[in-house]
Every structure is written in C-alpha cells, then in structure tokens.
Amino acid sequence: MAKKGDGRKVVAENRRARYNFAIEEVIEAGLMLKGSEVKSLRSGKANVAESYAAVEGGELFLINSYIPELENANRYDNHEPRRHRKLLLNRREIDRLAIAVMRDGMTMVPLKIYFNERGMAKLELGLARGKKLHDKRESEKERDWQRQRSRLMRERG
C-alpha cells in the first residue's frame, strides 16, 4: 500500500503476487498508454492480477492486463481492454531483465499500477522467482504467527 505522504494513488494491485512469487527486485517502469486508457485508469477499475511482462523484439511489454473501455468515449478513439502495453525503461535495464528471465528462470510480475506525484501512470514491476507449495505454507505460517504475536502484545499492553 502507498503511504499517505508519498503522493501515489494506487489504481490496481496484484496482491497474490507476493504469495505466489518470491520478489527479489522491484523496478518502477513507465507505461505507454492512450488517452482513453489514462481516463479509465483514473476511474480505478484496472486489473493486473493475471498479467505478466515479457521482452518482445528488444522492447518490454505488459501482457494480459485489463484496463476497461470508457463508456462515454468515441468508439474510434477507445482502446482494446487487453492489448499489449509498452513499458518504458532504459535499454540497460531491459537487457538486464531479459538476461535474468532467460538465464535464471525468473519472471517479471506486475505488482501495482499507480499515479505518481506528477500524475504520470507508473507500473511497479517485480523480478520474481516462483514459490513452491512448501514455501507458500511457510510464508502463511509466518504471517499467522506475526498476526498472533501482535494480538498478544496488544492484550498485554
């Protein structure tokens, strides 16, 4: 979640990503969007839960993210809800991510879409490694223990 003082308005968040993947690095990327997509994002109905990022032709794209069409937009100016969206990163960063995916078997998972303090749409992208079932159980146990510990500390004062 975004802190109150950092000026970010979170539009869409992939909450299952931290459960299914071990996030090793977080990268902020810009999004190349159409005007109707930006307006639709501002309404806050986007979804990045089943999407991923991939390198195609030396460029990085966000694939299978859902940004709904605007109801009151012109049908010629509107966009496809699940089109591939280009991510804006430096060439070195794209190459480094591509190498990590190819060599180390990692995945690029979108964590959240938000508007920064300047009003620009940004994507928080995680370089992740998939968790096995026992890792998921372990993280769930740890989360339950933290919750229980905080309850005990509250009760004791």
pLDDT by residue, tens only, the chain of 157 residues:
455 557 688 888 888 888 888 889 999 999 998 888 888 888 888 888 889 898 988 899 999 988 888 777 666 677 777 888 899 999 999 999 998 888 888 888 999 999 999 989 999 999 988 888 888 898 889 999 999 999 999 988 7
For residues 44 and 38, give the distance between their C-alpha atoms in angstroms, rounded to a whole number: 10
pLDDT the model gives residue 46 = 86
pLDDT the model gives residue 4 = 55
pLDDT the model gives residue 3 = 55
Q: Alpha carbon of 21 to those of 24, 27, 57: distances in Å? A: 9, 15, 26
Q: Alpha carbon of 132 to those of 20, 51, 129, 136, 138: distances in Å? A: 8, 20, 10, 6, 10
- One-letter amino acid at 33 equals L
pLDDT the model gives residue 134 = 85
Count Cβ atoms below 10 Å from residue 5 Cβ, excluding itself: 6
pLDDT the model gives residue 80 = 77
